[in-house]
A = this chain, B = another copy of it.
Amino acid sequence: MTPRTNARILTDTIADIFVREGFDGTSLNYLANQTGLGKASLYHHFPGGKREMAVAVYDRVSATFTREVLARLAGRGDLELRLTRMAQALDRFYDGGNRACLIDVFSIGGAREGFAEKLSEAVSYWVSSIARTLCEAGVEKATAQMRAEDVVISIEGALVVARATGNTEPFRRIIEAMPARLLGG
């Protein structure tokens, strides 16, 4: 019943590496070392090899994002509360700015092939989820779309800056200002 290696934990470990090293920068030797498994064992769990691992990582991260972050938008409570909840969830999801975004990482180099469409949809889904929530609260459609785009852009940018400088303060500032920006502060 209980496998020797938990598939979720294994995928999470691999995800950490892909996020840090990128698709092309991640080698199976390194994955084997970090997971404690032999390369052949990794192929047992992911017969499709490196690309299947990347797909599994993407699917898992994507599902986690939908469940942990976007779900806050549809929760109960007034709009401001839900937006604040989403901001907190984002802070957790990106580890306070220390964890890169797969949308960024997988849009560079060898991962683009096979992920281009998924990444595009991921951004659109994220943006429109926020925009729809704002619309339902009475914000005009075009305005909502623009604010949602701006916020998503800010987060992606703050993650890039955090990774490049090692300073997560701008990210935290963006996160904190997020609800007010979406409400039209």
Contacts and interface: CB of A to CB of B under 8 A. Distances in A.
A165 interface: yes
A153 B123 CA distance: 17
A71 to B, nearest CB: 22
Contacts of A107: 160, 163-164
Interface in A122-163: 122-124, 146, 149-150, 152-158, 160-161, 163
Number of copies: 2
Nearest to A27: B24
A48 interface: no
A22 interface: yes
Nearest to A177: B150
Interface residues of A, number: 41
Nearest to A104: B160
25 contacts: A21-B109, A21-B110, A22-B24, A22-B108, A24-B25, A25-B108, A25-B110, A26-B109, A104-B104, A104-B108, A105-B108, A107-B160, A119-B164, A120-B165, A123-B161, A123-B165, A149-B161, A149-B170, A152-B157, A153-B158, A153-B170, A153-B174, A154-B157, A155-B157, A156-B161
